[in-house]
Amino acid sequence: MSDATRESDNSKASVSTIFAELETAMEAADELRLRTEAMAETPSLERGSGRFLVGMITAVYEVTDLAHPFFGPVFMGARGRLTAGGCDLLLCANRPAYPGDPLRAAAVARTIRRGVDALIVWGIGNDDPELIPVIESGLPTVFVDHDPIGEKVANVMSDNIAAMAEVVDHLYQGGHRRIAHIAGLQNTRAGLDRLFGYRSELSRLGLHYADDYVEQGNYYHHSAREATERLLRLPEVPDAVTCASDMMAIGAMLAIEQAGLRIPDDIAVTGFDDAEFAARVDPPLTTVRQDAFGLGTAAAEALLRMLASPGSPPNVVVLPAELIVRASSGPAAAS
């Protein structure tokens, strides 16, 4: 679907409306967590004869996984290719949970104990306790948007560095010079790479890098709202804010509007992911469109190759991402 079609199919919504929608989704996820917290372990699954059983592990929290603007399409892409390849699937997504929650690690352990032949993993960071059991399982494993080292570990990801560099260059070409960044979690490859892309492009353009212009977020809207409020208290306020996710961009936009400033006249805002709401928020959000479905498909393809040829080296797949320019990143106002 073209970007123009997407925008015509969705009526515009205010930033506060989108923020409220994200709040509702989080509340629904939390209600699900409370309903399932005491649920006992379910019986082991039986498999069809001669079929591989692939465990799909997701540790995204606070938002129902399959409704997530990035991880939902990843799952759909992987599921479609794996089922077409004759695999049975076991989705390890017991409930929305926070990092370090022992039930997350327990769910991963259950998945491995049930005798899966291989794993696809997304949403787990370097310091999450679930990571080591996955690596030490010795199972063929493909990580999405992460690149831990292991003998049987492959990974697929977007070209996050080049994409964020393109965002910064786009803002620079529009006259912006005080460009800030709200980073994703730094225990994730995506968060690290997007921050690196931001910093490297500032350097290439001859712009000064300032620690005060970099705030740490967690990919969700609340963290970016608070981060932007801090940016707005700086002696020299940024004229553009790049965000490592669209959900964070919504938080940044709300903070800017509540401060009585205009987007993009006073401060431009960009996101990353091209979530469904990016085209219908007012003003529409400039963002980076990842091929999330393609990442899921590529992860499944890499895993099927590992299963078919156990001695072959694991794959590393990097997919390009596309800058989608909309109104939120308009030219800087004349001094």
Cα Rg, the chain, nearest whole Å: 20
Backbone angles phi, psi at 298, to 5 degrees: -65, -35
My answer on whether omega of the bond before 283 falls inside 30° of 0, hence cis, is yes
- pLDDT at 291 exceeding the cut of 70: yes
> What is the percentage of the chain residues whose pLDDT exceeds 90?
59
pLDDT of residue 12: 84
Stretch 285-295: mean pLDDT: 95
pLDDT of residue 74: 87
Stretch 202-227: mean pLDDT: 96
Mean pLDDT of the chain: 85
User: Do 269 and 240 meet the contact criterion of CB atoms below 8 Å apart?
Assistant: yes
95-115 pLDDT, tens digit per residue, is: 555 666 777 788 888 889 989
**Greater model confidence, 267 or 132:** 267
Quick one: DSSP state of residue 66? G
DSSP letter for each residue of 108-167: HHHHHHTT-SEEEEES--TT-TTHHHHHHT---EEEES-----TTEEEEEE-HHHHHHHH
51-99 pLDDT, tens digit per residue, is: 899 988 876 544 445 666 777 888 889 999 999 999 999 887 655 556 6
b/e map 54-72, b = 16+ CB within 10 Å: bbbbbbbbbbbbeebbbbb
Residues, the chain: 335
Q: Give SS3 for 183.
A: strand
All domains of the chain in start order, with CATH: 52-157+292-318 (3.40.50.2300), 160-290+323-329 (3.40.50.2300)
- pLDDT at 120 exceeding the cut of 80: yes
pLDDT of residue 97: 56
Stretch 22-31: mean pLDDT: 65
152-205 pLDDT, tens digit per residue, is: 999 999 999 999 999 999 999 999 999 999 999 998 899 999 999 999 999 999
**Greater model confidence, 227 or 27:** 227
User: Do 118 and 89 meet the contact criterion of CB atoms below 8 Å apart?
Assistant: no
- pLDDT at 222 exceeding the cut of 80: yes
Q: Cα separation of 144 and 106, whole Å?
A: 21
Non-local CB neighbours of 262 within 8 Å, separated by 6+ positions = none
In this prediction the pTM is 0.83
